[in-house]
Amino acid sequence: MTPTLRILYRGPLSSCNYGCEYCPFAKHTEIDAEHDADRRALDRFVAWVGEQRDRRISVLFTPWGEALVRKRYQDAIVTLTNMEHVEKIAIQTNLSCRLDWVERCDKSKLGLWATYHPGEVAREKFLAQCRDADRRGVRFSVGSVGLKEHQEDIAALRDALPEHIYLWVNAYKRQMDYYTPDEIARYTQIDSLFPINTERHPSEGEPCQAGQTAISVDGDGVMRRCHFVRDPIGNIYDSNFADALQPRLCKNETCGCHIGYVHMDRLGQYELYGDGLLERIPVKPVWRALPMSP
Ligand code: SF4
Ligand code: SF4
């Protein structure tokens, strides 16, 4: 049987209800025509997935901005999780939306990648959303960018979350040598997998599943290996799109983002995450191994 095709979908949407100061989509709104274009692209993608009945498919939505505040994305996920040949539908979200729509999903196939933005939402409010998702039986990971000034807040979130929920920390890599050894140790106590994310992994010439069993797809159906190698390799709306799914070596010098490097063969991340790969939930609760310091 052909291996599951994992698709990172990013359509034209580029707006968000939050205002993170480092983000180009902060508080950005779109005109009706832009929303219509995003809706058409999304509808076409969902219909295409529905037609691929001879192939197992998983999707991670990685929108520019926040998609789950839009009913069309909630409906798309409901539809996709209820397709028999679909294995997993996951989405990156700030978790600010109401969650009643998840009841229409096949929740065994749903995964949320929920990011906490300490400057945008009170911790208690975000935690209430996490508890709601947990009560509804949704599988999700929670995480945040590990800025120095947010360390206490993220530690407090870890303490307050139910133990079975994984909290990841994304290393801030825009500044060289940003962390002191103590800060790395502290974030590693919060997320035992933090050290993997602090590195830009040398990737040039490395075998990677991106382009073979994982692809990135935009609103026009253009296929790329991943979000980080810009050359198109085909288009899912062409009847022969599958011809492009071939083993390839990485062309980039390094790969520093979780949604990319998990597909590099040598890092062994498929074994670590298993079927929680897209929503970033490790198979074993590795995060419980490290007791928090007082
Ligand atoms: S929640 Fe995400 S998309 Fe929205 S402004 Fe913040 S970083 Fe940008
Ligand atoms: S190693 Fe990273 S950048 Fe290179 S192909 Fe794989 S996902 Fe893309």
Chain segment 135-163, per-residue pLDDT in tens: 999 999 999 999 999 999 999 999 999 99
Which of the listed residues 197, 224, 250, 277 should we mutate to test ligand 2's pocket, taking the one with most ligand atoms within 8 A of CB?
250
- Give the mean pLDDT of 203-208: 98
Which of the listed residues 203, 266, 270, 277 should we mutate to test ligand 2's pocket, taking the one with most ligand atoms within 8 A of CB?
203
- Give the mean pLDDT of 78-99: 98
Return the DSSP state at 264: B
255 lines ligand 2 (CB under 6 A): yes
Instruction: Tell me the ligand closest to 63's alpha carbon.
Output: 1
Residue 78: CB atoms within 10 Å: 17
Cα–Cα dist 123/10, whole Å: 28
**Domains of the chain, with CATH numbers?**
5-288 (3.20.20)
Indicate the residue type of 176. Answer: M
228 lines ligand 2 (CB under 6 A): yes
Q: Specify the pLDDT at position 29.
A: 87
Kindly state the helix (H) or strand (E) to which residue 228 belongs, with its residue range.
Answer: none
Indicate the residue type of 78. Answer: V
Banded pLDDT at 294 (limits 50, 70, 90): very low
Q: Which distant-in-sequence residues (6+ apart) come within 8 Å of 148 by Cβ?
A: 172, 178, 179, 183
**H helices of the chain, where?**
32-51, 71-81, 123-135, 151-160, 181-190, 194-197, 258-261, 269-273
What's the 203 CA to ligand 2 centre distance in angstroms? 7
Average pLDDT, the chain: 95
For the segment 212-249, what is each residue's pLDDT rounded down to a tens digit? 999 999 999 999 999 999 999 999 999 999 999 999 99
Banded pLDDT at 57 (limits 50, 70, 90): very high
58, 278 contact by CB (below 8 A)? yes
Q: Specify the pLDDT at position 139.
A: 98
Q: Specify the pLDDT at position 288.
A: 64
- Cα angle 110, 116, 120 (rounded to 5 degrees) comes to 130
What's the 286 CA to ligand 2 centre distance in angstroms? 25
Cα–Cα dist 33/48, whole Å: 23
Greatest extent of the chain over all pairs of C-alpha atoms, in Å = 58
Pair of tokens at residue 182:
């103590």
Residue with tokens 């025509």: 33
